[in-house]
Amino acid sequence: MRNKLLHNPQAVIGTLLIAIILLMGVLAPFLAPHDPMAVDITKKFLEPCNEYPFGTDQLGRCVLSRLLYGARYSLGLALPILAFLALIGTTLGMLCAWFGGIFDRLMTIVCDIFMAFPPLVIVLTLIGVIGQGAVNLILSIILSMWVWFVKVVRSYVLIEKDKDYITAAKISGCSGADILFSHILPNILPLLVVYFSTGIASIILMISGYSFLGLGLGNDIPEWGAMLNSAKQYLYSNPMLIVYPGTCILLTAAGFNLFGEALRDILSPEEE
Amino acid sequence: MHFIKKLIRVLIVLIGVSLLSFILANLSSVDPAEAIARRIYSNPTQEQIQDIRTEKGLDQPILTQYARWVGNCLRGDLGTSYQSNQPVIQEMAGKLTATLFLVGMALLWIVLITIPLGIVSAVRKDRFCDHLIRIITILGISIPAFWLGYLLLTAFAIRIPVFKVVDYGNLRSLILPSITLAASVVSSSVRMLRATILENLKKDYVIYAQARGLSTAQILWKHVLKNALPPMVTLFFQNIGMMIGGSAIVESVFSWPGLGNYFVSAIVNRDLPVITGCVLVLGLIFVICNTVGELVNRALNPRMISGKEGKVV
């Protein structure tokens, strides 16, 4: 498995990109040449130079430092969101598929109702009524996406539970919990990792989109979407302020997408 | 029988959609009575607010309010905007038209680009063309839509002024925003079409067709594409709903006077009737699109039991 990953260029590039972004976030305090929040109006819109390798923004803040700290916000928001979604999705999805019956039917209807709203609509409305802020953003993204995760996990478990080895496990007297956790879960885990990996990419894109609309975090926070939001007024004079944060978002999302897709290729039977 | 079951299910979902729309909007800390009072009197007294609360029935239990709201909606009355004093349904109709033009153009791109690229990528698997298409599409699903919009604006409206930065009302104005809106959908559709074709190429019926001496082109056009169609149709119709609901970001970049921009400005201004109305209409559109998608699939392939393909975000 590890060998296959190493021999797949997609997987290698994806892993490298993810590693770079992670390092950027973790090492930001050591790598950043300046305080990302330090405002100095006298130094606004500086061209790239030795002191400010990527120049400065409209308030004279160091763009490079803000980009480095931005990795913290993107991953720092996306990872907890994914963790919650994975937990909710896996628990409810497994329960629905395993028990079936009335619980499963009710859940399917709830899923259909929530899925009738594009995630953007739910998040916009919730942010509109409960207000902005990191916690509210996390809550509303979870609320807008949980049903998708439940549905996917449910469909994986449904396929797996009809296989012969599960029948064999049942005959040999395994309990329901035993089968779910020591047989089905380990077997669908790779599929879940693929889904979660591409899921992170869409969560990162969503976060930046909401920040861009001015509904995520405040503009002073060095989050990539928020940086784009404040840079859009200077589209004519300083297009590079738009290019840098966008590239960061693109590379992060591409990293997780590449990794997820490569893993899917490796896991699919045609490659074996 | 299947049709009746389906209908009941759609009805249940619609009731749920209306309930969720109502709940979402009522979580707000905005007091509707006060908001209406501020519209009538510049500086309303507590009594005036109380009068309006009684008059509009806002002091009644939440379920009574919901029932009345649904009744009004069924009669086509979505309330009056706090900001403009115009009936929400009237304002929304104009905005929805603008969004539909944008989505319609985007759908055209999706069909025109997805089919050839998906086929080429699958047929020339692991060749140069396939690698190139896969790289472009992975970038396409990873690029933030609004950023792509700005890049296109900078390139084709500022550097090389082929288009205008703010433009509305003609075919030319549709091109950049519709490309922006279509980019990620095209990318995911191409990848899906490629995967579906490759999966079908391995099936027994293809080997049988080869044994009968049919050419590769014949097998591809007559058999494989027909079998690859149902999941693509489901995805296509889901994407219509998704794009209408998700156009806010693209509309904001191109200052497009559509439903998404209208919705975002209502949220910023806490215009409750508009927020509730938009949520309800967007939910309805999505349910309708999905249902139409399933019906089309059944018409194309009567043997199919149910459209169980689900789009994965």
B202–A contact, CB cutoff 8 A: yes
Pick A148's closest partner by Cβ from B145, B268, B313. Answer: B313
pLDDT score, position B307? 41
Chain B residues close to A115, C-beta within 8 Å: 286
Contact B249 A213 (CB under 8 A): yes
Interface confidence, given as ipTM, is 0.84
Residues A96-103: contacts with CB under 8 Å, at least 24 apart: A96/A150, A96/A154, A96/A157, A97/A153, A97/A154, A97/A155, A97/A157, A97/A158, A97/A161, A98/A157, A98/A161, A98/A176, A98/A180
Q: Which residues of A touch B17 (CB under 8 A)?
A: 113, 116-117
Rounded to the nearest angstrom, the minimum Cα separation between A29 and chain B is 27
Read off the tokens for B22.
Answer: 């109502």
Residue of B nearest to A123 (CA): B24
Residues of chain B in contact with residue A155, where contact means CB-CB under 8 angstroms, are: 310
Q: If you average pLDDT over each of A198-212, A218-232, B29-43, which comes out highest?
A: A198-212
- Largest Cα separation within chain A, whole Å, is 77
Give tens-digit pLDDT for B90-107. Answer: 999 999 999 999 999 999
Query: What are the Cα distances from residue A265, in Å, to A198, A262, B95?
Result: 13, 5, 43
Contact A270 B142 (CB under 8 A): no
* Contact check, Cβ <8 Å, A232/B150: yes
Residue A130: the pLDDT is 77
All domains of chain B in start order, with CATH: 2-74 (no CATH), 94-305 (1.10.3720.10)
Would you say A125 and B24 are in contact if contact means Cβ atoms under 8 Å apart? Answer: yes
Q: Between A102 and A33, where is the model more confident?
A: A102
Are the C-beta atoms of residues A125 and B275 closer than 8 Å to each other?
yes
Chain B residue with minimum CA distance to A202: B313
Contact assignment for A202 to B252 by CB distance below 8 Å: no
Q: What percent of chain B stands above pLDDT 70?
A: 95
Q: What secondary structure letter does DSSP report for A46?
A: P
pLDDT value, residue A86: 95
Q: How would residue B309 be classed by pLDDT, with cut points 50, 70 and 90? A: very low
Residue from A21, A74, A81, A125 whose CB has the most chain B CBs within 10 Å, to mutate? A125
| Rounded Cα distance, A85 and A265, in Å | 24
Write down all domains in chain A, each with its CATH number in brackets. 2-267 (1.10.3720.10)
State the smallest CA–CA distance between residue B254 and chain A in angstroms: 12
Q: Does B248 touch chain A (CB under 8 A)?
A: yes
